[in-house]
Amino acid sequence: MSDCLFCKIVSGQVPAKIVHQDDQCIAFLDIAPQAPTHVLFVPRRHLASLNEATVEEKELLGHLMVTASKYARDNGIGETGYRQVVNCNRDAGQTVFHLHLHLLGGRPMGHFG
Ligand code: 5GP
Ligand code: ZN
């Protein structure tokens, strides 16, 4: 997707503070962090949202979740806790239409909101 911001970050056309890379995903610091730790875990392959994810993507989705959890443990927020969020479409406030998982931690968070 030539006009997709996160595809451009994946390909290196747009810079980001990358904190993890593997064959399936990359992770980089959110440009407008909502918590002391706010990292985006992004599949290398373009999927617009969770609505495009089928059973074919279950391994990829699991990979994002366990990779983010390992990052959390390795970066000192495993015990204190963290949240993983995937926003889908308008009511959830999705603004970048390349599937991504937010890892948020380092401060107490309200239950939902
Ligand atoms: P969404 O609202 O779609 O779930 O999350 C998109 C996230 O991408 C937001 O938290 C926003 O701050 C972040 N973001 C938007 N543009 C950029 C950018 O150019 N670089 C980085 N690192 N993060 C971005
Ligand atoms: Zn994309």
Distance 70 CA to ligand 2 centre (A): 24
Whether residue 111 lies inside any domain: the answer is no
93 inside domain = yes
Q: Annotated catalytic, 46?
A: no
Q: Which of 23, 22, 20 is nearest to 103 (CA)?
A: 20
Residue 73 lies in a domain: yes
Give the per-residue pLDDT at 74.
98
What CATH number corresponds to the domain at position 75? Answer: 3.30.428.10
Task: Give the angle subtended at the CA of 73 by the CAs of 99 and 89, to the nearest 5°.
Answer: 20
Residue 86 lies in a domain: yes
By most ligand atoms within 8 Å of CB, the mutation choice from 4, 9, 47, 95 for ligand 1 is: 95
Domain for residue 84, yes or no? Answer: yes
User: What is the reported pTM?
Assistant: 0.98
Q: What is the mean pLDDT of the chain?
A: 97
Number of domains in the chain: 1
pLDDT, residue 113, reads: 57
Determine, yes or no, domain membership for 112: no
Range of the domain at 50: 5-105
84 burial class (0-12, 13-18, 19+ CB within 10 angstroms)? middle
Nearest CA to 39 among 26, 50, 51, 49? 26
